[in-house]
Amino acid sequence: MILSHGLVSSKESSKYIYLSERFCGAGIAASRFDYHGCGESGGNIAETTLTIRVRDLESVLEHVQDHPSIQSGGIGILGSSFGGSTALVEAAKNSRISCVALWATPYMMEEKKDDSISDMHFQSSIFEDFSRYDLLSEARKVSRAIVIHGELDEVVPCFEGKAIYENLKRPKKFVAIKGADHTFTSLAHRDRAAELSLAWFRRYL
C-alpha cells in the first residue's frame, strides 16, 4: 500500500505513521514518501501541481513494484485530500494498481483571491493545472475503490466524495463517517476509516 499524503502534509504526519503501522501489523507492506516540496523532498511546495505529484507517485510506484518483498500485481494506494486526487488520476491510467482508498478527496479546486490554501501561498499554476483534469471522468476509469469522507469535512465538502463515488466503476463503496472532519482528527473516526480501508485492501489487493 502506497500512502499518498495531502497537499501540505508529509510522510511524517501522525495519520500516515498510524496507517503504515496499522497496515503492516495486518501483513500489508506500506510505503510512505514526501511529495515535491514536502518533508525531506526537494523543490518549492508553492510551485507544486497535480501533474508534478502524479509524476512523483509514478516514481514511487516504479520503486515499489521492484521491491523484493512486494508481490507482483499487489499494489494499492491510499490517498487523502489532494493525495486522493493524485491517486485517482494515477489509478485511471495504471493497470498495475489493484485498488484504491480515497479519503476526503476533492474533484474541484477553486482559485482564491489571496492564492492561499491551508494558510500557505501557492502559484496560480496549481489551480490552472488542476483545471485541466476532469476528475469525474477519470473516476469512470477506476474500479475497486472505496471513498471515505467525513460528514463534517470543513475543507472538501462531503458531496465531492459522493460525486467521485457515483462516477466510479464497480466494485466500489462509499462511507460517510458521522461527525468526522477533513483530517479525521478524532482517533475514533481515524480508526473507523482505517478499518474500512484495511478490509477493502484485504479483499482487492
Q: Could you tell me where the beta strands, DSSP code E, fall in 15-138? A: 31-32, 75-80, 97-103, 116-117, 120-121
Q: How many residues does the chain have?
A: 205
Q: Rounded mean pLDDT of the chain?
A: 94
In this prediction, residue 110 has a pLDDT band, given cuts at 50, 70 and 90, of confident
Q: What is the pTM of this model?
A: 0.96
Q: How far, in Å, CA of 36 to CA of 195, rounded?
A: 29
Pairing of strands 145-150, 2-4: unpaired
Beta strands in 104-158 (DSSP E): 116-117, 120-121, 145-150
Distance CA 161, CA 149 (A): 6
Q: Which set of grid coordinates corresponds to residue 70? A: 512486494
* pLDDT tens readout for residues 68-105: 877 666 899 999 999 999 999 999 999 999 999 999 99
Identify the CATH number of the domain in which residue 85 sits.
3.40.50.1820
Gyration radius of the chain's alpha carbons: 16
Count: domains in the chain: 1
What's the domain range around 6? 2-204
Cell output for 185: 482528527
Residue 28 has pLDDT above 70, yes or no: yes
DSSP symbol at 15:
H
Residue 2 — very low, low, confident or very high, per pLDDT cuts 50/70/90? very high
Residue type, 174: F
